[in-house]
Structure formats: structure tokens, C-alpha cells
Chains A and B, each alone.
Chain A
Amino acid sequence: EADIYQTPRYLVIGTGKKITLECSQTMGHDKMYWYQQDPGMELHLIHYSYGVNSTEKGDLSSESTVSRIRTEHFPLTLESARPSHTSQYLCASSELRQRNIQYFGAGTRLSVL
């Protein structure tokens, strides 16, 4: 059973607003990830972190930013939301001791009007 939580589950917001998508895990995992997924499409890695104060950009370029100040928390921020940011955002975490299996949160469905 994965203990990784994302809030909000759904978010509808206007263009130009600043938003933060929250992701928290209680498993003590050192690695965390953000994926972006358009409906019916594959997941693309946009950010990842291998530990506190470590963040890297993923394979898909994203205007979002992330931070990792605490092990359990990996928020994603969009400074100025645009309709092109409309998508589902999935957070995951993993740990070497758990065979690096990535466990996913329920996702945040973002709609920017």
C-alpha cells in the first residue's frame, strides 16, 4: 500500500494564476518524481529529486518548478498558469530498499481556462 498523497485532486483555474500542486509521502523515500500526462497519452517525466535539496529536470521540458526542502514533501509550482498547462500531474516516490519501485499518488487534474 503506497502512502503518497497529492492535493488538490482537481483544480480549475484562470490564466495567469500562480498554483502549487502538493505531493507528500510518508514512506521516507529518498527519490521523488513528477510526471505529466495528457488524456490517453503516455506519462512524461518533468522533474525528479534524489533527496533533500536535490532537483533535476526530466525528459519533457516544463515551465514548472519544484523544491525539495523536506524528504516527505515535493511541491510543484507554476508561476503563471496557461491553458497549455492543462493536464494530469502525477507524483511518485521510490526507495532503493524497496527495489526502486515507483509508487504513485492519485494525481492532480489541472484545467487552466
Chain B
Amino acid sequence: AQKVTQAQTEISVVEKEDVTLDCVYETRDTTYYLFWYKQPPSGELVFLIRRNSFDEQNEISGRYSWNFQKSTSSFNFTITASQVVDSAVYFCAPVGQGAQKLVFGQGTRLTINP
């Protein structure tokens, strides 16, 4: 079974600041996947990234970057030069290779102030 901890329940920053959202997970699977989703105020979940456990290369997509540290079971998400539209709740979710069920933590509510 998987478990995820997002210790930061709320973060508030001023626009253009960089911000990092932490994600620590637990799993007994040797192969697994890690997801990040964004939930804006409208309520739907928007897929951001899927990472395989055997690929520890960090990833950058525009202002978004992800740092995967298998040794510390962390998969942190950084937004560079934050914008007001980044305001949302962000969820990290692990899933085992054979399973299909995402395990969500409580998420981190990010507020970007103008």
C-alpha cells in the first residue's frame, strides 16, 4: 500500500516568487509511479506529471520542475516565477506498478498574491 505526506497544508507567496511543494511517500513496491495533480477553484483535477520510480532524472516543463529523490522518498514540485493563476490545491499521489488506484494526500493549498 502507498501513503503520501504533504506536510505543507497551506503556502502563500507573492507573485513572481519561486515556491516548492514537498511530497514524501511510502511504498513497499519496488516499481511505482508518482503523480502530481492541480485542483483549481473550479474543482476539477488537472494532470501535471507522471514519474516512474526507475527514472530519477529531474524534469522541467516551463515554469514547473520536479525533483525526485528516491533515497529520501521525496518528489518535490517547484514553480518558478509564480503567477496568480497558479493558485490551487496541489496533490501528490503514488501508485504501485500493479495497482491502478491513486493514493491522495491532503494536498497543499497554494495562494499566489498579486
Contacts and interface: CB of A to CB of B under 8 A. Distances in A.
Interface in A66-104: 88, 90, 92, 94, 99-104
A59 B101 CA distance: 9
A90 B45 contact: yes
Interface residues of A, number: 27
Interface in B40-84: 42-47, 50
A41 B100 contact: no
Contacts of A33: 101
Interface string B79-100: 0000000000101000100001
A63 interface: no
B100 A88 contact: no
Interface string B101-112: 110111101000
Contacts of B45: 43, 90, 92, 104
12 contacts: A42-B104, A43-B102, A45-B102, A90-B43, A90-B44, A90-B45, A99-B50, A100-B33, A103-B47, A106-B43, A107-B44, A109-B43
